[in-house]
Amino acid sequence: SPLIKLAVIPGDGIGPEVVAEAVKVLEAATSADDVTFDATWFSLGAARFLETGDVLTDDDLAAIAGHDAILLGAVGGVPGDPRLANANIERGLLLKLRFSLDHYVNLRPSVLYHGVPSPLASPGTVDFVVVREGTEGPYVGNGGAIRQGTAHEVANEVSVNTAFGVERVVRYAFAQAQGRPRRHLTLVHKTNVLVFAGSLWQRIVTAVAAEYPEVTVDYLHVDAATIFLVSNPSRFDVIVTDNLFGDILTDLAAAISGGIGLAASGNINPEGRFPSMFEPVHGSAPDIAGKQLADPTAAILSVALLLEHFGLTDAAARVTAAVTADIVARAALDIPRSTSAVGDAIVTRLTDKGIQ
Amino acid sequence: SPLIKLAVIPGDGIGPEVVAEAVKVLEAATSADDVTFDATWFSLGAARFLETGDVLTDDDLAAIAGHDAILLGAVGGVPGDPRLANANIERGLLLKLRFSLDHYVNLRPSVLYHGVPSPLASPGTVDFVVVREGTEGPYVGNGGAIRQGTAHEVANEVSVNTAFGVERVVRYAFAQAQGRPRRHLTLVHKTNVLVFAGSLWQRIVTAVAAEYPEVTVDYLHVDAATIFLVSNPSRFDVIVTDNLFGDILTDLAAAISGGIGLAASGNINPEGRFPSMFEPVHGSAPDIAGKQLADPTAAILSVALLLEHFGLTDAAARVTAAVTADIVARAALDIPRSTSAVGDAIVTRLTDKGIQ
Ligand SMILES: CC(C)[C@H](C(=O)O)[C@@H](O)C(=O)O
Ligand SMILES: CC(C)[C@H](C(=O)O)[C@@H](O)C(=O)O
């Protein structure tokens, strides 16, 4: 039976707790399938940095790259910890993995599940996916400063956008749109200000759109997109956007669809030349770590994206169905459940046909 | 009596309609004061461009710069109009004015007035102000492209941030925070990714904070800030942020506090070396132009910011009070009022002591 080598990076804070549940669910969801996941656990993140001074060594990277996929919990230490002042675990670990492993698609679905409270008074149906570019834009790290620390300091940040990089993620987004019932794609950018990058994105979307006559296309400036996300989120089906706009929009999208406790993401290298990485959108939340208070749902939904990525569509659908049913059941609970109780409840739904 | 020379730029679409009401209110609000506004009207925007091919000539700019303040309606033609394809009225007019006239403070208050519906289920008290930098960041226009139109195109955008530019706007923001009851300031940036620009902003905020011991300071990444804007907007008092983040956050802020029909803004050169410019945040909305359907409230609230800028605090307070009262009265109306009926109602409240 096919073996999928999984690199598991629990990370910091609540990362290990939510990843433990995600792995339980992964096993339960695929126990009847002709596939085996073989997990290798990597100790990376702020804790590891404090111990060894390393964030991600070349050896770490090579070892991880030898796997078929990555499941990541969350990384990052306690905010303000002076020992981490110059570490930037996010850049050195999370972004380094995304860039080194060419995760050019950052896939972030937003679904407001039945029974989940939204901060919006009348959210309507929320069911869209953001296809965020993952290897370009203002995230490339091509910034610099002169006269640092003086009154004459100039600090620049460069957003780099290539036809190659934009086209491949735009194609991915159109393919997603084509496969969804509404077949609608919205490009989000700021073409009236970022005229060079904006023009590139706009031209490529227009060109690829010609190959997808069934997909309707529109455009929104990023500022206007935030308005629609709170006033009429139902208008969105697939959003394609750059790395920074995608970062901002997906946090907002998570907020309106029940919070980042539910938001899953995939950092995908679609051709499979490198392992794709699946992670909840939330951070390490050190304040509640180790107390079994974290909601593992986002990590578990990231497992569904992982299964989808390997074409294990049925298993993915089972996970989503079990989570959806659990979310409905939550509304009736009197007291909050522990992290592992949530995982157990979802595992029970997956294995006990009677209950599911 | 002091004479304030006002350059009025009604612009396109609904601009002329809302500006007409704003000017009526300005006159009514100051009729009893020892001040006279002398308005010169400038025909600028998409319509002017289509007529003459000019967006903003050096002569236009010099003439406008000779005034004490600017009141602007909205600029921009019908989206997709092929004759405007290469015009970029926003960059050539709005941004050119902001940059040429050194509008380094873009002041955007967000208040959820009593009686105004919010898309949030439980917005709580919303009363904060965004101090958006106006002359730096990704807005500087320092982008470029090579191999444009080929598969090898690279399009860059450069965000330029200077100690000079950041410090002056941060000082302005702290002064605002000091003058508000809650004395709280939040820096919003993305320091974990835009490390050079982020470090500059962070260091300057920390340095200036030492001069304002009564102001409490915190920091949020821009993505997290969008979450709080929908989950707990009451946490904000003064937000200081860069040009692009400010653009995005203020549209979202407007959306949660009743929509951009109510959002006012001031593009301010605090030292008064150049005329400051006051404008509603909304655009020209060509689809509803000329029909008396537009809500002039945002333009009228921009007049309050203009009065405030000239130290006409009482007149500013009168305008805000009249608008606030009108907003409450709106809830009881059966049919929508015309643009001029809204202006007239607010003028009546300003002049008729009995009603006010
Ligand atoms: C932690 C940070 C670098 C990261 C990002 O900005 O991409 C996070 O916000 C996310 O969205 O995954
Ligand atoms: C029209 C556009 C250039 C402008 C901006 O991006 O600043 C607008 O969105 C605003 O917020 O005033």
| C-alpha–C-alpha distance, residues A322 and A299, integer Å | 14
For position A90, what pLDDT does the model report?
A: 87
Nearest Cα residue to atom 5 of ligand 1: A247
Give the count of beta carbons closer than 10 Å to the beta carbon of residue B344: 16
Average pLDDT, chain A: 96
Banded model confidence at residue B353, pLDDT cuts 50, 70, 90: low
Distance between CA B22 and CA B28 in Å, rounded? 10
Q: Where are the beta strands (DSSP E) in chain A?
A: 3-11, 36-41, 69-74, 105-111, 127-133, 144-146, 154-162, 184-189, 216-221, 238-241, 264-268, 276-280
Q: Residue B157: which of A155, A159, A255 has the nearest Cβ?
A: A159
A190 CA from centroid of ligand 2 (Å): 9
At B170 the pLDDT is 99
- Residues A133-157: what's their mean pLDDT? 98
Among A98, A208, A244, A281, which would you mutate to test the B interface (most chain B Cβ atoms within 10 Å of its Cβ)? A244
Q: Do B193 and A91 touch (CB under 8 A)?
A: yes
What is the per-residue pLDDT across B3-60, written as a single tens digit (0 to 9) for each?
A: 999 999 999 999 999 999 999 999 999 998 899 999 999 999 999 999 999 999 999 9
Mind giving me the DSSP string for B113-171?
A: -TT---SBSS----EEEEEEE-SSBGGG---EEESTTSTT-EEEEEEEEEHHHHHHHHH
Q: How far apart are CA B260 and CA B253, in angstroms?
A: 9
Distance CA A221, CA A55 (A): 36
Q: Where are the beta strands (DSSP E) in A17-134?
A: 36-41, 69-74, 105-111, 127-133
Spacing, Cα B284 to ligand 2 middle (Å): 12
Rounded to the nearest angstrom, the minimum Cα separation between A94 and chain B is 11
- Which residues, judged by CB distance below 6 Å to any ligand atom, belong to the binding site of ligand 1? A 90, 94-95, 247, 281; B 192-193, 223
Is B60 annotated in a binding site? The answer is: no
Catalytic amino acids of A? 139, 190, 223, 247, 251
pLDDT in tens, A274-312: 999 999 999 999 999 999 999 999 999 999 999 999 999
Rounded CA separation B48/B227 (Å):
41
Nearest CA in chain A to B203: A149
Average pLDDT over residues A36-64: 96
Residue (of B249, B242, B198) closest to B228 by Cα position: B249
Percent of chain B with pLDDT over 90: 92
Tell me how far CA of residue B310 lies from CA of B37, B65, B272, B340, in angstroms. Answer: 11, 17, 10, 26
**Angle in degrees, CA A221, A226, A228, rounded to 5:** 90
Residue owning tokens 């050019």: A104
Looking at domain B1-107+263-356, which of 3.30.160.620, 3.40.718.10, 3.40.50.300, 3.40.50.10860 is its CATH number?
3.40.718.10
Separation between Cα atoms, residue B257 and residue A263, nearest integer Å = 26
pLDDT at position A96 = 97
Mutating to test ligand 1, I would choose from A70, A89, A90 the residue with most ligand atoms within 8 A of its C-beta, which is A90
**A147 Cα to chain B: minimum distance (Å):** 10
Kindly tell me if the per-residue pLDDT of A355 is higher than 60: no
Residues B307 and A262: their CA atoms lie apart, in Å, by: 46
How many beta carbons lie within 10 A of that of residue A218, not counting itself? 11
Strand-pair partners of B11? B74
Closest ligand 1 atom to residue A246 Cα is: 11
Is A152 a residue whose pLDDT tops 90? yes
* Minimum-distance CB partner of A121 among B119, B162, B224: B119
E strands along chain B, which residues?
Answer: 3-11, 36-41, 69-74, 105-111, 127-133, 144-146, 154-162, 184-189, 216-221, 238-241, 264-268, 276-280
Q: By CA distance, what is A204's nearest residue in B?
A: B149
A308 contacts: CB under 8 Å, gap ≥ 6: A316
CA B49 – CA B59 distance, rounded (Å):
15
**Beta-carbon count within 10 A of A334 CB:** 4
> Is B284 within any annotated ligand binding site?
yes
pLDDT at B356: 43
CA–CA distance, B280 with B265 (Å, rounded to integer): 6
Atom of ligand 1 nearest to the CA of B223: 9
Contacts A252 to B, Cβ<8 Å: 223, 226-227, 230, 252
pLDDT band at residue A238 using 50, 70 and 90 as cut-offs: very high
Same fold, B1-107+263-356 and B118-257: yes
CA distance A9 to A93: 11
Nearest CA to A347 out of A323, A312, A316, A317 is that of A323
Angle between helices A313-330 and A15-30 (to 10 degrees): 120
Q: How does residue B331 score in pLDDT terms, banded at 50, 70 and 90? A: confident
* Residues facing residue B265 across a β-bridge: B279
d(CA A233, CA A122): 10
Q: Binning pLDDT at 50, 70 and 90, where does residue A79 land?
A: confident
Domain residue spans of chain B: 1-107+263-356, 118-257
Q: pLDDT band at B87, cuts 50/70/90?
A: confident
Q: Nearest CB to A248: which of B159, B196, B226?
A: B226
**Is it the case that residue B183 has pLDDT exceeding 70?**
yes
Q: What is the rounded (10 degree) CA torsion for B312, B316, B317, B322?
A: 140
pLDDT for residue B52: 95
Query: Could A154 and B160 be called an inter-chain contact, meaning their C-beta atoms sit closer than 8 Å?
Result: yes
Give me the percent of chain A exceeding a pLDDT of 90.
92
R_g (Cα) of chain B, nearest Å: 20
Cα of B35 from ligand 1 centre, angstroms = 52
The residue nearest atom 11 of ligand 1, judged by CA position, is A247
Asked if A196 lies within 8 A of B145 by C-beta distance, the reply is yes
Mean pLDDT in residue range A301-329: 96
Give the nearest chain B residue to A117 (CA atoms). B121
State the DSSP H helix or E strand holding residue A351, giving kind and residue range, or none if neither. helix A339-351
Summarised one tens digit per residue, pLDDT across range B91-150 is 999 999 999 999 999 999 999 999 899 999 999 999 999 999 999 999 999 999 999 999
Domain A1-104+266-356: CATH architecture, name and number where available: 3-Layer(aba) Sandwich (3.40)
Query: For residue B348, what pLDDT band results from cuts at 50, 70 and 90?
Result: very high
Angle at B226 between CA B223 and CA B230, to 5 degrees: 150
Q: How far is A320 from chain B (nearest CA, A)?
A: 24
pLDDT digits (tens, 9 = 90+) for A103-137: 999 999 999 999 899 999 999 999 999 999 999 99
The confidence score (pLDDT) of residue B354 equals: 44
Q: How far is the CA of B91 from the centre of ligand 1 (A)?
A: 30
Domain A118-257 has CATH 1.10.3720.10: no
Confidence band, pLDDT 50/70/90 cuts, at residue A353: low
- In the predicted structure, residue A356 carries a pLDDT above the cut 60: no
C-beta separation of A173 from A240 below 8 A: yes
Catalytic residue annotation of B: 139, 190, 223, 247, 251
Q: What's the average model confidence in pLDDT over A227-233?
A: 98
Residues of B in contact with A121 (CB under 8 A): 118-121
Average pLDDT over residues A156-161: 98
pLDDT digits over B273-292, tens only? Answer: 999 999 999 999 999 999 99
Residue A59, class by beta-carbon neighbours within 10 Å (0-12 exposed, 13-18 middle, 19+ buried)? exposed
Q: Is A293 annotated as a binding residue?
A: yes
Q: Which atom of ligand 1 is nearest to the CA of A247?
A: 11
